[in-house]
Amino acid sequence: MKNKIIYFWSILQSSFWFVPLLLVVSSIIAATGFIYLDNNWDFASSGVISFYVHGGADAARSILSTIAGAMIGVAGTVFSITLVALTLASSQFGPRLLQNFMHDRINQVVLGSYIATFTYCLLVLRAVKSDGEMAFIPNISITFAIVLAIVNILLLVVFIHHISVNIQADQVISNVNLNLRRNFKRLFPKEENGNDLSEIDEEKLSGKKSSLKEKLEVYAQESGYLQSVDHTGLFNLAKDLEGLVEVKKHAGNFIIEGQVLALVLSANELEVEKNDQVKSFFIIGRKRTSTQDVEFSIRQMVEVAARALSPGVNDPFTAITCIDKLTDIICYLTSAKLPSPYHFDEEGEVFLITKTISFEDVMNVSFNQIRQYGKDAPAVIIRLMEAMLTIYNFSKNEEQRKIVKKHARMIMHLGKESFVEENDIDDLRARYEQLI
């Protein structure tokens, strides 16, 4: 349940409608509160303030109507600018980066603030009365509406600047890299003994599996991307059963309806209800998310590089920037603690086996497609080799160095096959020999 709450809360925070809705609700509360304050406190203006707080009911209605009309008009403009930015982002950087723009907090706040101000003015406008003894002019509420209008004008300037900056290629890549670093630090915390995967006694594990006669295969009820797996819940379930749960997929995998999600082993008879209980620990959706999917943000970066290397765009500089950012992430991963597929209790007994992503998986996702698309761009291939050299120098163990050498060999082979200029081949070979 905790895992689902965290998942849905992250979805709410990243949705385009949640922040605007909160601001609209806040505007309703603020309108009610200020009208109540006006009703119970006779605000007498004096000095400079008296020039701004004066006039009758007609003046109050005029001010509120002007602000409300202007806000809803500018809200339409803001929405149009956002759609234009989304269209440009989709065509230049790929449709998968659209959600980065939709999840942008400034875009949400600006759109929400204009709609919220419009709602606030409507509610206060309804409270203005000019019927003799029942006359009521909420001066404090009107003053606050004017303040909101001034703040929204400033927000419009900030919004236009923000949009013009964020549709630039370097800024898009930096934003993706920032999200990628944040996810890596959350999923792979850096420790002094990086990559210290827990050792497992395979013979002991095999003996435990053979002793657990009752088996229950849990199948997916729908097709989609595996977005989140509650490892804690599965571990506690296996411990209660005194058995073993083996997860067959990891977050980011595409699941086909009827495909095996997990295998539950137990010495005792397994009830049918356990099937539904295990399924509740898996969240399957229509698209990939970055909640537990390590490859998601990497693929966004790779997509930007692949589009930059397409014949229609032919922008190797953007691809080189993507390579630099990916190199930074991989260098961090070399000293991070990769998760073990085996989950132990305090006594060292295994109750849960999960599918995890390895250093080699991350290297493949990061550089394979860029290498394939960049075969006609010597500058990109040479930078790829420089990236391998940098990662090799940061590698902490022989297994990592072996993986880096494998990619370096593929890059060198591609360069010899595709480069026309002999000097380019010499430059590539010099970097390769330095790595080897």
DSSP per position, 357-421: --HHHHHHHHHHHHHHHTTT-HHHHHHHHHHHHHHHHH--SHHHHHHHHHHHHHHHHHHHHH--S
Would you state the pLDDT for residue 18? Answer: 87
Q: Rounded CA gap, 331 and 192, in Å?
A: 14
Q: Tell me which residue of 375, 380, 382, 379 sits closest to 418, measured CA to CA.
A: 375
Residue type, 413: H
Q: Do 107 and 161 touch, CB atoms closer than 8 A? A: no
Q: Do 430 and 385 touch, CB atoms closer than 8 A? A: no
Those residues of the chain that have pLDDT short of 70 are 1-4, 6-7, 10, 13-14, 43-55, 94-102, 132-134, 190-201
Q: How far is CA 70 from CA 198, 340, 432, in A?
A: 62, 57, 62
> What spatial distance separates the first Cα and last Cα of the chain, rounded to whole Å?
50
Q: Do 374 and 309 touch, CB atoms closer than 8 A? A: yes
Q: Do 149 and 114 touch, CB atoms closer than 8 A? A: no
Q: Rounded CA gap, 272 and 260, in Å?
A: 16
Assigned token pair, 12: 């709410």
CATH architecture under which domain 202-285 falls: Alpha-Beta Complex (3.90)
- The residues with which 218 forms a beta bridge, in sequence order, are 262
Per-residue pLDDT reduced to its tens digit, 243-266: 899 999 888 889 999 999 999 988
Residue type, 219: Y
Q: Rounded CA gap, 304 and 384, in Å?
A: 16
Distance of CA 321 to the CA centre of its chain: 20
Per-residue pLDDT reduced to its tens digit, 379-424: 999 999 999 999 999 998 899 999 999 999 999 999 999 898 899 9
Q: Tell me which residue of 104, 134, 123 sits closest to 64, measured CA to CA.
A: 123
3-state secondary structure of 103: coil
Would you state the pLDDT for residue 196? Answer: 46
Q: Do 400 and 354 touch, CB atoms closer than 8 A? A: no
The model's pTM is 0.77
